[in-house]
């Protein structure tokens, strides 16, 4: 047995069988990402352990040395949840498209479209909170679903690669929204769109609870409900099964009498709807305004989150919390130890590279275990 | 006015063609390439680093030439990551492309900030480039109307034209080009001829990465005169749309790129002529993307992508 074989057999023992790999391979990818990130941080002259500790502190997962008035670990943690909510929804959105064998790269654009329409229609109105909040959610869901359906339609009717069309649509929305904000809705001081009315905001701001002033992200409830919905829809319904069949093999599904076109459009509609929800919880929840000229990175990072979570709703919740913690906590890391916050994205990138190779790792393990059995 | 449309249209189209060429080389060899965006950005970053270092000690001409070369190498370098994931590690090629893009954005943003601090002691997320050298062809520029194509030409434009001609020659007129195209349509035949499919694909993807890097540094010079995260504004994907429109062939893809370039520069001129406020430029920016969608609606159906595109080569499979 040569050296490489020894290494792989060690890997087999650690990563375990097929069922265990669903958890162990993502964890393995995360560990490699953290180690590479740690090496980069160390190479640039900072202490990786204290940097990672800073990230936890920034998310309310470890106590900071000092807090401002009416702030504490719990308020940091609530802000962290507020930040994570859109990520969970966006990753669920990608997961649904993935099940149908499609890649919804346009989540950022769908988020923006949903957020913008809700902002203009409800955010600037004087409706009461009880009416405004449900309307925001419904409009977001509807706009996102409409965009998703359009992409699905292009795919099924004209055979347009959804990756290209979603990206074109991303940029179209980005420029249209930028135009309208700059011409009609800009706040001259912040250069963002005007802040929305409090009644329509999905994250309650500065609520006094037990001596703290904290954010209460109502979107968390939407995200949890969406995760349950996606699980039941994909795993327990006939339509969900059909979508999975289309994703596994379009030809096979067609031969067994499944309407491939309908399922492609449906999967993209649901995916778009979830992206729309991510959009309203981001723009009308976490931020409260829209910055013109940009697409939020959440839509792209959610691809990573979904892959890490094995496209499984429960896995996605865990991986969302992990990736968001890196992103959210990196701001505090920059202010307290001076490490560039972009390192968080580098770590995420490395994790992604390794989780993309997960199929190869399980193939390797499979081969090794079979060889092992034959020897015996 | 027409002169501006022609010259700025060309300055946009040619780098786009270089990026589309990146996709053509990779996909004709059978490797799906959605990573053009990442390749061009990483190439531009590598070239810009070389340029800012050389700018302080040598003439613009030298730093410009070296930066094009380094951009080519940088793009090819990142392309090897994509090739490795797709060929050796059999990753899903679409996912690998997306991952490479995310990785390139993260890496270049981080390194730009860090190198700026390390080399120049300033905190900036931009690498400022010198003004790109331009020239005017003496006689040809005097031709009415079309002379604009020879006036105030960026130096990278003829470089890209030469590279494209060479790439065309290699792909259609050489033995290697034939193997490359065969890898995309019938890799088993290539294998049966005793040629390594993996090796041809590695080379094709790497060359493609180099072309994209060349396109990226050209945009860094012409559009913004600096390297920043703004380099990732979707032109890599626009290039992919162009090559689908061109049915994975170089000459029709050139036409698509020219169409995008002239649509864009005409739009800008209209905003200027009508004296609209600058916010209207954002509306004009939509043009190439809308045009892409429309073009794809008409051309996607009858298109035939390389037969083995996106399928990892497996020796045992028939």
In the predicted model, what is the mean pLDDT of chain B?
88
B234 interfaces chain A, CB cutoff of 8 Å:
yes
User: Is pLDDT above 90 for B149?
Assistant: no
pLDDT at A1: 45
Backbone angles phi, psi at B153, to 5 degrees: -80, 135
Min distance B306 CA to chain A CA atoms (Å): 14
Residues of chain A contacting residue B290, judged by C-beta atoms under 8 Å apart: 168, 172
User: Is pLDDT above 80 for B196?
Assistant: yes
Residues B240, B303 contacting (CB under 8 angstroms):
no
pLDDT at B208: 96
User: Is pLDDT above 60 for A376?
Assistant: no
User: Is pLDDT above 90 for A100?
Assistant: yes
Helix (H, G, I), strand (E, B) or coil at B134: strand
Closest to A211 in 3D by CA, of A59, A69, A64, A81: A69
Phi-psi region of B121 (alpha: psi -120 to 50; beta: other; left: phi over 0): left
* Mean pLDDT lowest among A335-349, B20-34, B71-85, B141-155: B141-155
Distance CA A163, CA B21 (A): 19
User: Is pLDDT above 80 for A311?
Assistant: yes
- pLDDT tens figures, A184-230: 999 988 888 999 998 899 988 888 888 888 888 999 999 999 999 99
Contact check, Cβ <8 Å, A356/B293:
no
- pLDDT tens figures, A148-183: 999 999 998 888 888 888 988 998 999 999 999 999
User: Is pLDDT above 60 for A37?
Assistant: yes
Q: Say how many CA atoms lie within 13 Å of B173 toward its Cβ.
A: 6
pLDDT at B146: 76
pLDDT at A375: 58
Residues of chain A contacting residue B237, judged by C-beta atoms under 8 Å apart: 163-164, 167-168
* Mean pLDDT lowest among A119-128, A327-336, B179-188: A327-336
- For chain A, the distance separating the N- and C-terminal CA atoms, rounded to the nearest angstrom, is 15
Residues of chain B contacting residue A360, judged by C-beta atoms under 8 Å apart: 88-91
Residues of chain A contacting residue B85, judged by C-beta atoms under 8 Å apart: 353, 356-357
Min distance A255 CA to chain B CA atoms (Å): 21
Residues B149, B3 contacting (CB under 8 angstroms):
no
User: Is pLDDT above 60 for A13?
Assistant: yes
Counting other chains too, the contacts that A295-298 makes at CB distance below 8 Å and 24 or more residues apart are: A295/A108, A295/A109, A295/A112, A295/A170, A295/A174, A296/A86, A296/A108, A296/A111, A296/A112, A297/A108, A297/A345, A298/A86, A298/A87, A298/A90, A298/A107, A298/A108, A298/A111
Q: Which residues contact B152 (CB under 8 A, 6 or more apart)?
A: B7, B134, B135, B136
User: Is pLDDT above 80 for A244?
Assistant: yes
Residues of chain B contacting residue A179, judged by C-beta atoms under 8 Å apart: 279-280, 282-283
Of B89, B237, B301, the CB nearest to A164: B237
pLDDT band, residue A138 (cuts 50/70/90): very high
In the predicted model, what is the mean pLDDT of chain A?
88
pLDDT at B182: 93
Distance CA A46, CA A340 (A): 11
Distance CA B95, CA A153 (A): 22
How much is the average pLDDT of A71-82? 90
pLDDT at A2: 56
What are the Cα distances from residue A73, in Å, to A66, A287, B305?
A: 10, 21, 55
Distance CA A289, CA A177 (A): 12
pTM greater than the 0.90 cutoff: no
B124 interfaces chain A, CB cutoff of 8 Å:
no
- pLDDT tens figures, A48-60: 898 899 999 989 8
Q: Which of A46, A108, A112, A160 to mutate against chain B (most B CBs within 10 Å)?
A: A160
The more confidently predicted of residues A271 and A323 is: A271
Q: To the nearest whole percent, how much of chain A has pLDDT over 90? A: 47
Q: How many residues does chain B have?
A: 318
pLDDT at A283: 95
How much is the average pLDDT of A355-367? 75
Which residue in A has a C-alpha nearest to residue B100's C-alpha?
A353
Q: Which of A165, A178, A294 to mutate against chain B (most B CBs within 10 Å)?
A: A165
Residues B40, B75 contacting (CB under 8 angstroms):
yes
- pLDDT tens figures, B283-317: 887 888 888 888 888 877 766 778 888 788 877 66
How much is the average pLDDT of A236-260? 92
Residue B86 belongs to what H/E stretch?
A: none
How much is the average pLDDT of A235-244? 94
Residues of chain A contacting residue B247, judged by C-beta atoms under 8 Å apart: none
B103 interfaces chain A, CB cutoff of 8 Å:
yes
pLDDT band, residue A246 (cuts 50/70/90): very high
Q: Which residues contact A182 (CB under 8 A, 6 or more apart)?
A: A292, B279, B282
Distance CA B201, CA B33 (A): 12
Residues of chain A contacting residue B228, judged by C-beta atoms under 8 Å apart: none
* Mean pLDDT lowest among A54-58, A114-118, A172-176, B87-91: B87-91
Residues B23, B36 contacting (CB under 8 angstroms):
yes
pLDDT band, residue A277 (cuts 50/70/90): very high
- pLDDT tens figures, B211-262: 999 999 999 998 888 888 888 888 898 898 888 888 899 999 999 899 889 8
User: Is pLDDT above 70 for B62?
Assistant: yes
Contact check, Cβ <8 Å, A345/B99:
no
The segment with the largest mean pLDDT, out of A92-101, A205-214, B143-152, is A92-101
Closest to B25 in 3D by CA, of B285, B241, B193, B206: B206
Closest to B15 in 3D by CA, of B243, B287, B235: B235
Of A158, A303, A346, the CB nearest to B107: A346
Helices (DSSP H) in B84-174: which residue ranges? 93-120, 156-173
Distance CA B261, CA B16 (A): 8
Distance CA B130, CA B127 (A): 10
How much is the average pLDDT of B151-165? 91
Of A175, A301, A342, the CB nearest to B282: A175
Contact check, Cβ <8 Å, B90/A163:
no
Q: Which of B84, B294, B300, B314 to mutate against chain A (most A CBs within 10 Å)?
A: B300
Contact check, Cβ <8 Å, A164/B90:
no
Residues of chain B contacting residue A44, judged by C-beta atoms under 8 Å apart: 114
pLDDT at A67: 84
Contact check, Cβ <8 Å, A175/B286:
yes
Min distance A207 CA to chain B CA atoms (Å): 36
CB atoms within 10 A of CB B128: 16
Q: How many residues does chain A have?
A: 376
The more confidently predicted of residues A292 and B144 is: A292
How much is the average pLDDT of A340-366? 80
Distance CA B128, CA B56 (A): 12
Min distance B146 CA to chain A CA atoms (Å): 32
Contact check, Cβ <8 Å, B282/A178:
yes
């Amino acid at each position: 047995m040569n050296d490489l074989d020894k290494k792989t057999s060690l890997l087999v023992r650690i990563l375990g069988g097929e069922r265990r790999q669903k958890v162990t391979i993502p964890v393995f990818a995360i560990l490699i990402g953290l180690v590479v990130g740690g090496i980069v941080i160390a190479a640039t002259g900072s202490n990786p352990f204290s940097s990672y500790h800073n990230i936890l502190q920034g998310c309310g997962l470890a106590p900071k040395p000092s807090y401002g008035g009416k702030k504490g670990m719990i308020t940091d943690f609530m802000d962290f949840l507020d930040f994570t909510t859109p990520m969970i929804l966006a990753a669920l959105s990608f997961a649904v498209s993935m099940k149908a064998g499609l890649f919804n790269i346009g989540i950022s654009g769908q988020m923006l479209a949903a957020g913008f329409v809700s902002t203009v229609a409800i955010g600037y109105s004087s409706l009461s909170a009880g009416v405004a909040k449900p309307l925001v959610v419904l409009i977001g869901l509807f706009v996102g679903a409409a965009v998703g359906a359009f992409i699905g339609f292009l795919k099924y009717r004209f055979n347009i690669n959804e990756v290209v069309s979603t990206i074109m649509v991303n940029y179209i929305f980005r420029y249209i929204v930028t135009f309208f904000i700059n011409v009609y809705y800009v706040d001259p001081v912040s250069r963002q769109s005007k802040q929305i009315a409090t009644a329509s905001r999905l994250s309650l701001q500065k609520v006094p609870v037990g001596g703290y002033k904290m954010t209460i992200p109502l979107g968390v409830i939407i995200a949890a409900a969406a995760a349950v919905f996606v699980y039941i829809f994909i795993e327990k319904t006939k339509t969900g099964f059909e979508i999975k069949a289309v994703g596994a093999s379009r030809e096979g599904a067609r031969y067994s009498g499944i309407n491939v076109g309908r399922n492609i459009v449906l999967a993209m509609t649901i995916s778009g709807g979830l992206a729309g929800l991510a959009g309203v919880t981001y723009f009308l929840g976490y931020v409260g305004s829209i910055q013109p000229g940009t697409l939020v990175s959440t839509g792209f990072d959610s691809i990573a989150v979904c892959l890490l979570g094995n496209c499984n709703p429960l896995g996605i919740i865990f991986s969302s919390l992990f990736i968001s913690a890196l992103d959210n906590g990196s701001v505090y890391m920059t202010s307290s130890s001076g490490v560039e916050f972009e390192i968080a994205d580098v770590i995420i990138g490395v994790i992604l590279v390794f989780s993309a190779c997960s199929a190869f790792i399980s193939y390797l393990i499979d081969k090794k275990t079979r060889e092992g059995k034959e020897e015996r | 006015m027409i002169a501006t449309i022609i010259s700025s249209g060309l300055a946009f189209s040619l780098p786009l063609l270089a990026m589309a060429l990146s996709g053509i080389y990779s996909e004709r060899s059978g490797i799906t390439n959605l990573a053009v965006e990442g390749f061009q950005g990483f190439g531009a970053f590598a070239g810009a680093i070389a340029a800012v270092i050389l700018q302080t000690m040598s003439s613009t001409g030298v730093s410009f030439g070296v930066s094009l070369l380094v951009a080519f190498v940088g793009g090819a370098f990142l392309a090897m990551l994509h090739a490795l994931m797709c060929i050796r590690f059999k990753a899903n090629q679409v996912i690998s492309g997306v991952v490479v893009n995310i990785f390139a954005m993260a890496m270049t943003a981080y390194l730009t900030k860090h190198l700026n601090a390390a080399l120049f002691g300033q905190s900036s997320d931009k690498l400022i480039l010198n003004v790109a050298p331009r020239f005017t062809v003496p006689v040809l520029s005097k031709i009415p109307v079309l002379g604009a194509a020879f006036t105030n030409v960026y130096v990278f434009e003829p470089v890209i034209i030469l590279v494209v001609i060479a790439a065309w020659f290699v792909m259609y007129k050489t033995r290697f080009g034939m193997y490359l195209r065969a890898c995309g349509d019938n890799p088993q035949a290539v294998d049966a001829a005793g040629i390594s499919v993996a090796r041809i694909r590695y080379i094709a993807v790497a060359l493609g990465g180099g072309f994209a890097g060349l396109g990226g540094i050209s945009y860094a010079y012409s559009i913004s005169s600096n390297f920043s995260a703004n380099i990732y504004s979707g032109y890599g994907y626009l290039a992919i749309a162009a090559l689908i429109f061109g049915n994975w062939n170089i000459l029709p893809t050139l036409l698509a790129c020219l169409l995008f370039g002239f649509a864009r520069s005409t739009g800008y001129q209209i905003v200027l002529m009508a004296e609209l406020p600058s916010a209207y430029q954002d509306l004009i920016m939509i043009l190439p993307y809308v045009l892409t969608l429309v073009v794809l609606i008409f051309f996607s159906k009858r298109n035939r992508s390389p037969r083995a595109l996106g399928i990892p080569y497996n020796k045992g499979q028939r």
